[in-house]
Chains A and B, each alone.
Chain A
Amino acid sequence: MGKCGKIENMILDESFQTDLADEKDAIITEHVNVCEDCKNTVKEIKKVRSLLKNIKRLQVSPDFTDTLRSKLESVRSGEYDIGRENADKKTVPLFTRIAYYGAGIAAVVVGMLFLGGEEIFNDNNGSLTDPSLNSAVFANADSDEAPVKSITDSLKNIKDPVKDENLIKSVSTGE
């Protein structure tokens, strides 16, 4: 800020609503005639505007119009239905989608509880909570193929609930 700062303070005040680079304002004109600092401020702001006006604008690619034309042809022929795509999104509001996801997750949880009961979660000898699953995945995070093998290996450690005799017994006896 210059020594005076009157114009800068005016700019920072949102109630000052004159475009300094383009419009005349009596108070400003009167002040800059007697204040070199503020005169420079206005000059610099005009310089900024001049720089911005002369900046190189981005141009669309040479094939822009051809691509647009072919997209429009697809729209006409029904291959590229941007309107339908949009309409689909509008017909499934966020709340509905959340409700769908929630219902799906609830169904999976209920299903797991119904089929496996506590046996699946409490089985320390190998279960869905098997820590080797995580370690196998993270240990091979940098490899492209190894994780698949490691995950499959870990899955071998998981007891098949259907073949687990103890589990069958507990389910059939209701214990």
Chain B
Amino acid sequence: MIEFKRLTDEELMFRFQKGDENAYNEIVERFKNKLLNYIFYFMKDKESAEDVVQDTFIRVYLNKDKYKEIAKVSTWIYTIAKNLAKTALTRASKMNSFSITGKDGENDYEIKDKHSSTDDPVIKNELNDIIMSRINNLEEKFREIVILRDIDEMSYEEIAALLKIPTGTVKSRLNRARLNLRDSLADHIK
């Protein structure tokens, strides 16, 4: 019996391309929560983010043969998810006559209350909410990198490939993002 947990993402994808649906299930297991955390910071809403993540996996299922091993599976899947999130946001902004965001990096909203409600076990303490809120207030180019690196634990190279920027720029932005967060979280890091 194959131990899917030991296979790399690329090996899983290869098996899935050959028709092994268990490999697909393992890919879903591996990425579902990471993608949710990444997409949440675009959508600002867990339910919408989850819809985008599901659609991402449907795209992966339907387009498995389009994946080529020249890119990492994670880069491919995150790119699909990001594109779907942006499309969903564009549709939502067309449907709403009011804007929920300010200029890039100047979000004028907080994470919705329902995500900090006591019956949601995911976010339940105050510090967690504060940190998420501060991440949320970062400029998009910094926010995205912090989530990918510090929360989703992607490598510099994966992030660089996903965002189409040099690895050095990833590191540079990480420092700047953390410096910004150090200031906004000053009371909590002393």
Contact = CB atoms under 8 A, between A and B. Distances in A.
Q: Tell whether A and B belong to one assembly.
A: yes
B83 to A, nearest CB: 11
A contact face: mostly helix, strand, loop, or mixed: helix
Interface residues of A, number: 37
Interface in B5-55: 28, 32-33, 36-37, 40, 46, 49-50, 53-55
Chief secondary structure at chain B's binding surface: helix
A19 interface: yes
A57 B169 contact: no
B132 A17 contact: no
Interface stretch (A67-75, A99-107, A110-118): A67-75
- Please classify how large the interface on chain B is, using the bins under 10, 10 to 19, 20 to 34, 35 or more: 35 or more
A12 B55 contact: no
A19 B156 contact: yes
Contacts, number: 111
Given A82-B58, A82-B62, A56 B182 contact: no
A47 B185 CA distance: 10
A48 B181 contact: yes
Interface string A36-59: 000001001101110111011111
Given A52-B150, A60-B50, A82 B59 contact: yes
B175 interface: yes
Contacts of B62: 75, 82-83
B50 A61 contact: yes
14 contacts: A12-B179, A19-B175, A20-B175, A21-B178, A41-B182, A45-B175, A51-B189, A52-B150, A58-B37, A60-B36, A64-B50, A68-B28, A68-B58, A72-B61
The 8 closest A-B pairs by CB, nearest first: A17-B168, A52-B150, A19-B171, A11-B175, A47-B189, A48-B178, A44-B182, A45-B178
